[in-house]
Amino acid sequence: MHPTDAEIAAYQRDGVVVLRQVLTPDEVGDLRRAADQVAAAPGPLAVRMADDAETGRFVEDFRRRHDLPALDRIARTSGLPEAVAALMGSVTVRLHHDHVLVREHGTAQRTPWHQDQPYYDLDGHQTVSCWLPLDPVPADESLQVVAGTHLGPWLMPRTFREGEAKWFPEGTLADLPDIDGALAGDPTAFDVRSYAVEPGDAVCFHFLSVHGAPGTSAERRVVSLRYVGDDVVRAARPWRTSPPFPELEGVLDDGAPLVHPLFPVVWPEQPPPGGGGVPWKAAATP
């Protein structure tokens, strides 16, 4: 799957682009089953963003590809790695992590505006998240991305519920502007992109793009896959990142490339373990 020159240019300029029908129906079916398994049995990193029979349930989970082989296989061998290599202009692509978001029966809970990279332990610019809807989502209930914000600056990451600065110390990064307030006064105050999407589509956005999402009126299952390119290195943090990677402590120094089994190279296609020259297409350990 290779994006067009126009799609690559849009990604570089805006930090967001939608790619249509990148996943096959079988891959969508497998990801749906994986999302349902996550919702039925959330893992140790799961967060319940909302849990109310009236206003809806919303669970998020991280790093589940290690126990869900279909999720791991699709993250590595679908058309996504080739597509993101082209979008970020990188020779090599590594899978960084997976993030599953299930709004079970629709939920009023909004995902607040934020950038992803300040929650991580990464420096570098060649990054892409693929937001993969597993149910049809209308534009007014879809991911919202503020075009151009991938060029910076970094903005203060805060906890979604209490708004606490649990990562960078208070005052060290500027706060996000009041995007909703500004948009209420002037709908053109920010260039917000949101797309009506079908299962199989991918909204690709940069780790620094400011994004959020409104509540939904129906079930909305999503898998977000995070990929990094050649220029991304570890930025060691004295705090617990979200998601955390405690396995890297004392193993990957600050500034080190992400050469670690947790972040497998997924592009160019990898030969199967043991050689043989046939592109690797089966589920495997990291």
Ligand X SMILES: O=C(O)CCC(=O)C(=O)O
Q: Is 116 in the site for ligand X (CB under 6 A)?
A: yes
Give the containing element (helix H, strand E) for 127: strand 127-133
Q: How far is the CB of 181 from ligand X (least distance, A)?
A: 20
116 vs 168: CA distance, rounded Å: 13
Least distance CB 101 / ligand X (angstroms): 5
Question: Six-digit token pair at 167?
Answer: 């990562």
CA-CA distances (angstroms) from residue 183 to 29, 180, 200, 236, 258? 37, 5, 30, 36, 39
Does 143 interact with ligand X (rule: CB under 6 A)?
Answer: yes
Nearest distance from C-beta of residue 243 to ligand X, angstroms: 11
- Closer to ligand X by Cβ: residue 136 or 257: 136
Cβ neighbours for 78, distance < 8 A, ≥ 6 positions apart: 1, 22, 23, 24, 27
Q: Does 90 bind ligand X (CB under 6 A)?
A: no
The residues with which 41 forms a beta bridge, in sequence order, are none
Residue 224 found at the interface with ligand X (CB under 6 A): yes
Q: Judged by CB under 6 A, which of 83, 137, 155, 213 binds ligand X? A: 213
- Closest approach of ligand X to the CB of residue 219, in Å: 13
Among positions 74, 83, 155, 222, the unique one binding ligand X when judged by CB under 6 A: 222
Farthest CA pair distance, the chain: 61
Q: Which residues bind to ligand X, rule: CB under 6 A?
A: 99, 101, 111, 116, 129, 131, 143, 211, 213, 222, 224
